[in-house]
A and B are shown apart, each in its own frame.
Chain A
Amino acid sequence: EVQLVESGGGLVQPGRSLKLSCAASGFTFSNYYMAWVRQAPTKGLEWVASITNSGGSTYYRDSVKGRFTISRDNAKSTLYLQMDSLRSEDTATYYCTRGAGGRLDYWGQGVMVTVSS
C-alpha cells in the first residue's frame, strides 16, 4: 500500500525557515517524480514544486522560486521541502504527492504551515 506521511509543519514567524519531510513507503521511491501541492485555508489546490526521480531536475512555481528548495533522499525514501523567507501567503496545508505520467496519483494526509507573528 502506498503511503506518504508528511511532518515538520507548525507555526513560524515571517522571514523564518521551516523544513517539511515526507516519508514514502509501499512503492519504489526512486522510480517516481514527487511533488508538493499546497492549499491555503478554504482555498483551492496550488502546485508548489516537483522533482524528478533522480533528483536531477527541479521545478517551482514563481512565487516560491529562490525561497523554497525541493529535494529527495532516495536511500531513505524521503522527500523534503526547505522553506526559507516564509511569508504570510505561504500559510497552507502542504501535501506530498507522487507524480506519474503527468498525474498526481497518491497524496499524503497533509501538514499545516502557519506563518504569523
Chain B
Amino acid sequence: DVVMTQTPVSLSVSLGGQVSISCRSSQSLVHNNGNTYLSWYLQKPGQSPQLLIYKVSNRFSGISDRFSGSGSGTDFTLKISRVEPDDLGVYYCGQGTQYPHTFGAGTKLELK
C-alpha cells in the first residue's frame, strides 16, 4: 500500500497569514497514463470532507485561488495564503493512483 506522510501534524496561524503543508508518498504517484492523482481535502469541524485540489495543482470548482498545490512524484505541498477563519479544520492529502486509495493522517490548522 502507498503510505502518505503529512507534516506537520498541526499548524497555528494568524488570520491573513500563509501556511504550507507537506505530503510525501512512499511510492511515486505517477499513474501509467501519466497523470498524478494526488488530491487535497479539508474537513471543517463537524462537516464532511470537501475536495480542494486534484491532480496535484488543479483547484476544484468554487475553491479560492488562495489555495494552491504543487509537487511531483512523491513530494507534494499545499499552500494557503491570506488565511481566513473558514479555512480552519483538518487537511488531508489523498492518492487515487493505485488501490487501495490512501490518505495522510491529517494536518490540523488552528488559529494562533
Give the interface size bracket for B toward A. Answer: 20 to 34
The interface-forming segment of B10-18, B48-56, B71-79, B80-88 is B48-56
Cβ contacts B32-43/A at 8 Å (1 or 0 each): 000101010101
Bound Cα distance A91, B37 (Å): 28
Q: In the bound complex, do residue B48 and residue A44 qualify as a contact, i.e. CB atoms below 8 Å apart?
A: no
**Residues in B59-74 with C-beta less than 8 Å from chain A:** 60
From known contacts A59-B99, A95-B48, A101-B37, infer whether A45 and B92 are also in contact, taking CB-CB under 8 Å. Answer: yes
- Chain B residues within 8 Å of A78, by CB: none
Q: In the bound complex, do residue B39 and residue A59 qualify as a contact, i.e. CB atoms below 8 Å apart?
A: no
- Chain A residues within 8 Å of B92, by CB: 44-45
From known contacts A44-B92, A44-B106, A109-B48, infer whether A102 and B55 are also in contact, taking CB-CB under 8 Å. Answer: yes
- Chain A residues within 8 Å of B35, by CB: 101-102
> Which listed residue (A102, A108, A109) contacts B97, Cβ 8 A?
A102
- Chain B residues within 8 Å of A35, by CB: 101
- Chain B residues within 8 Å of A61, by CB: 100
Bound Cα distance A101, B51 (Å): 13
How many chain A residues touch B (CB < 8 A): the figure is 23
Q: Closest residue to A109 on the B side, CB-wise? A: B48
B89 within 8 A of A: no
The distance from the CB of B33 to the nearest CB of chain A, in whole angstroms, is 10
The distance from the CB of A75 to the nearest CB of chain B, in whole angstroms, is 26
The distance from the CB of B62 to the nearest CB of chain A, in whole angstroms, is 11
A50 within 8 A of B: yes
The distance from the CB of A26 to the nearest CB of chain B, in whole angstroms, is 13
Bound Cα distance A61, B90 (Å): 23
Q: What is the interface of chain B, defined by CB distance below 8 A to chain A?
A: 31, 35, 37, 39, 41, 43, 48-51, 54-55, 60, 90, 92, 94, 96-97, 99-106
Report 16 cross-chain contacts, Cβ distance below 8 Å, ordered by A residue. Answer: A35-B101, A44-B103, A44-B104, A45-B49, A47-B103, A50-B101, A59-B99, A60-B100, A99-B96, A101-B55, A101-B96, A102-B97, A104-B49, A104-B51, A104-B94, A109-B48
Q: What is the interface of chain A, defined by CB distance below 8 A to chain B?
A: 35, 37, 44-47, 50, 59-62, 95, 99, 101-110
